[in-house]
A = this chain, B = another copy of it.
Amino acid sequence: MLSNFNIDNIIRTALAEDINYIDITTDLLIDPSDMTKASLVAKADGVLAGIDVALRAFCFEDDKIICEKLIEDCSILKKGDVIAKIEGPTASILKTERTALNILSHMCGIATYTKKCVDAVAEFDVSITDTRKTLPGLRPLQKYAVLCGGGNNHRYNLSAAAMIKDNHVDAYGSVFNAISTLRERAGHMVVIEVEVRTLEELKEAIDAGALVIMLDNMTPEMLREAVELTNGRAILEVSGNVTLENVYEIAETGIPIISIGALTHSVKSLDISLRIEK
């Protein structure tokens, strides 16, 4: 699902950052013909994401490295699980180990946290969604990892869908004018969402015909009122400072879409290591 044209630049940059010229220790000490078997092992419970990227990183510089994937992306990982086997020249494996692990740990961290949020609200009919708060250069990997954790992707970028905010409304005098102007200019393949901060604005947006409305930083009480007030006339999305701690409380309000910036901007990596079999 991830395209190589997105992945390869990331891998190449990461290898160049980590190796630069040579691996002084490995290249000067290890015989290039020395061979090793190794395993990627989960050191904590979580969700797998990015195994194909990690294995591609291992093989990027040396096609004598052979990888066998044992677990697929989106699977639940238990501490101790062997995710994949890697076999080939010791020197090449040692040189690419850190790069592969850095990528995999980050992506699994995202999928794991996403899955926790999804599970936390499993009893409701709600979608956990990411945001544009991604790390520079890593959006393709991060958005994919959110999918692996059971989340949905919000718009990929500013060209893919529209989001009318305060400043846009101000320029047109009213939400109604902003929506109708944009509806005409943007073409028929663009979803338009409107961001509102008060119930007043919500009412106005609904009246203006908004079909998707983002409720920014509202309290659970306000959200409950918003659901009632909207009464099915628009799709509601909550955004702003949602975390695993408060996501249940928000889902309880009946809002169907909860977007969480922390999925991608505050990632705790999942501990994964390479066990070298001597």
Contacts and interface: CB of A to CB of B under 8 A. Distances in A.
Interface string A6-20: 100011111111111
Q: How many copies does the complex hold?
A: 6
Given A17-B136, A29-B182, A23 B90 contact: no
Contacts of A193: 189
A53 B26 CA distance: 20
A37 to B, nearest CB: 12
A114 interface: no
A275 to B, nearest CB: 11
A222 interface: no
Interface residues of A, number: 100
A200 interface: no
A144 to B, nearest CB: 8
Contacts of A105: 133, 265
A246 interface: no
Given A25-B162, A25-B192, A161-B190, 12 more contacts: A6-B16, A11-B136, A20-B157, A21-B140, A22-B158, A24-B158, A25-B163, A36-B167, A102-B136, A133-B269, A188-B235, A190-B191
Interface of A: 1-6, 10-32, 34, 36, 60-61, 90, 94-95, 98-99, 101-103, 105-106, 109, 127, 129, 132-140, 143-144, 152-168, 170-172, 178, 181-182, 185-193, 212, 235, 237, 257, 265-269, 276, 278
